[in-house]
Amino acid sequence: MVGDQRKIDNPRFVLLDLLRLFAALMVLGFHWLFRGHAIGMQITDYPNVAWIAAYGYIGVDWFFMISGFVIAWTAQGRSASAFAIMRFARLYPGFLAIMTITFLMTLSYDWPLQSPDWKDWLANTSMVAPLFGRPFMDGAYWSIVVELVFYGWVFLGLATGLWVHRVTIAFLWLALSVANMTWLKSDVVRFLFITDFAPWFIIGMMMHDIWKRGVRLEVLVILVTAFLASCLTLAFQVPTLAREVGVAPDMLLLFSLNLLGLLLIAAAINIQSVHAGLARWSMYAGTVSYPLYLFHQHAGYMLIDRFAPLFGAGIAFAVALIAVFCIAVSTALLIEKPLRPLIIQKLLGFINRVQIGLRWSNALHIK
């Protein structure tokens, strides 16, 4: 059809993929146009747009809301082992490829602000390099650790059968997060229960419950309370941000962007059909957003500062954007796409063989 005007149902929530890409671009803008220069990691400055780019970090919180919904959706009907395999296949191949490219790029650029060695690379293959006393290869990786902790709790819920009580779990998690933020102030609780980011995950989880089972009063109350808690969390983060970059964001604008993310995600979930062409492009957007997010920060700093003295700040930004998109697309299409189904197939097959072996062992023992 001319223009491909057909409409299709929205089984994958394809508009969420577009939001993922938009959120990644918000974070990219925050780093390249504001934070990089503000903290001395990027020489090139963009003073005309820095004021609005300073709010781009809210894109990470949009990611967490989307993740809360998507993980609740993908976990339903799956065993703990199947869930873990699906998450590993989704995250690890792209991460390993992008981390290695960043490592090699940093070595070749001879960046004075970070000089990794092979021990740093090896520690980063774990995705949790600071646990081994080594820095992340790129500062953006901290949020992947937050996601991994969230996945770990979902895995535990599936393994124990407690995931069916996820609304109750969300309520208790939210109460603990607010208590730790305002009263307990325990670093252990903060890390184990990712209390700084729990409100956004909980918002996504409650959105999934409403989408699946309809509006229920207790779920709606938890969602609204989680949103208010997320605003409180943003307010608590402002002094730290101000110390780091020297600028305190406008709270009203920050809360408005937080609400905008919630509304856009809710709309993306509930739109029932989209044009086939838009659905196709949104799948590409969702595929590329993860490697783009992983690769953009340090690579962008290096590329912009390399090309800005030669061509100006604007062209340097465009060159860096094209370069990181090319790497992200190549990683998504040449590494993630072919490896993901292969990894899932091999790991599921291994789990099945182990389970069959255990059943035979038990049967023989009984006899």
Spatial separation of the C-alpha atoms in residues 251 and 146, rounded to whole Å: 24
Spatial separation of the C-alpha atoms in residues 70 and 62, rounded to whole Å: 12
For 357, residues 6+ apart whose C-beta sits below 8 A from its C-beta are: none
The predicted pLDDT at position 3 comes to 41
The predicted pLDDT at position 12 comes to 62
Q: What is the pTM of this model?
A: 0.94
The predicted pLDDT at position 5 comes to 45
Question: What is the bridge-based pairing of β-strands 273-275 and 7-9?
Answer: antiparallel
For 1, residues 6+ apart whose C-beta sits below 8 A from its C-beta are: none
Residues of the chain with pLDDT under 70: 1-12, 358, 361-367
Quick one: angle between helices 166-179 and 217-245, nearest 10?
40
The predicted pLDDT at position 10 comes to 47
End-to-end CA distance of the chain: 65
Helices (H), the chain: 14-30, 36-38, 50-53, 58-75, 80-109, 118-124, 142-160, 166-179, 187-192, 198-213, 217-245, 251-270, 276-311, 313-331, 337-366
Spatial separation of the C-alpha atoms in residues 61 and 58, rounded to whole Å: 5
